[in-house]
Structure 1
């Protein structure tokens, strides 16, 4: 299985055009999968993406930050906007430009900060670096790199459609016809003004809980409603603020079959948290292990019995309290959960 870090495909001279288009589609599909799960990535970088060429797929090796060269203008709090899926598309545009040319579209000179670079500078035309490129491919990348979120691709749907149409034209003996980029772009996210009219109270309650969490306190909000009433969209709106504050958000859905599973949705979220944790710096993980051991060490058997994934976070040599009754184990585990 040939798996490479995306950075390895940024070469001098750059990769040939056919490979670039195929790789662009693979990367766009990767971003599409994340957005379908209502995840804003927020830190795309060629150093954090692995590519499996045989399986025509790519995966993010999760990190909490990336180089500022791959950030969107709004990630520097410019334009008074919060990051969204369109921020990921901007970062993807930076990566695709670098793949196609072997160089970044923007460079910070001397003490110039990256926020200013992304807000004010424009990329060097692709045709100046790779003469012979047609206007359609340049238009696709320039649309990704537009400063304004409104002028960018609004979703991966439109981007994938354009890339696949371009690939089809390449396969058709390279007979390129003018393509109106973004024509089939579908806006998947709804703004507060057109989708949350009359629900500002719920939004305020959710954001107040989020602010508590930023301050290190526990905050619980239950989102309960009938199917199709916008629960996912409400949670998704909160996720944008989480990313803006440099945090991560785990969103899980309570399925009907979990109703008879004790702590089912909570454990599902905790498993996802452990999975994401391993991409954090070693120093942070070490501090967290020490904190968990100090606070919950004596309860290790109870915790691991109900949450096996926690085994790697706790010291197996520590003295623990043994409880043989399974029902009491779960009762004790529930008592340990924050309230």
Structure 2
């Protein structure tokens, strides 16, 4: 019985490795999934060993950078060549704006050329040998700074930036030209305002027209304490630029008692207590229209800027930074209210040139 028991105990060990050391090594490899496998052996690229292939890659990179420059120049030229209203047929999109299509195509070439050139340069001509370094503290010491500077210089040397002048010069040309696309886009936001912000449709001799009746306003049409609106003579609601003109020329006309007017200039620019001010709020351009008869205050409904029309329309409350511009008015030979000039200062939201 003892022999049989001994045989049964020893039988399961017949298939174990011959040595305990071998068993331990096998277990260590099998149970260490996070072990560092190391870098594979470095394989040289064709460009590393064949200067002819390297020159070919250099020409490809230079060609991509040159393509980017041509794309930028084409982008700028598109603004000159194609009018806004020209349409062309492009399969499969159908009829599209020639200007938009050319802008998108040329800008894509400019950006893709730079990106593809940089990627091809890095993959074929720059050093591709992987290096490892131990994690270090965030604060670099003098030795580390010197090491990084040396590595930077070595990287520049290996990239061929100084030696491969064709790649360098075409890359610099592409990077220099592509920002011009942004300049052209910003220029296309609209025509330059020039001095248009400083002038409106008002001029000497132009009658104040009631926009509801399209007839000239007369002093007797405006009782004391009332507010009405006016627009310059000659504006046509059917014209293409009517909205642009009325946005600057909209006028509110109020009749006060002459003795209630505190500002001497306002009094001299009025007619029998009738004063005219821009309807456009000097904060963000909302239409001012809420009039308090007893206080002579007018309120902007957007942000509650309040102006005193008996004191030169100065700001007494709210975010507006400037008083409402006053229009100098009088009466012509026909008894109609007319402007004596344009507004003295720009209307609407103030800009820095306005005093």
TM-score range, shorter-chain basis? under 0.3
**Rg: which structure is higher?**
2
With CA pairs under 8 Å and 6+ residues apart, which has the higher RCO, 1 or 2?
A: 1
Higher strand share: 2
Higher helix share: 1
Q: TM-score, with normalisation over the residues of structure 1?
A: 0.21
Q: TM-score, with normalisation over the residues of structure 2?
A: 0.21
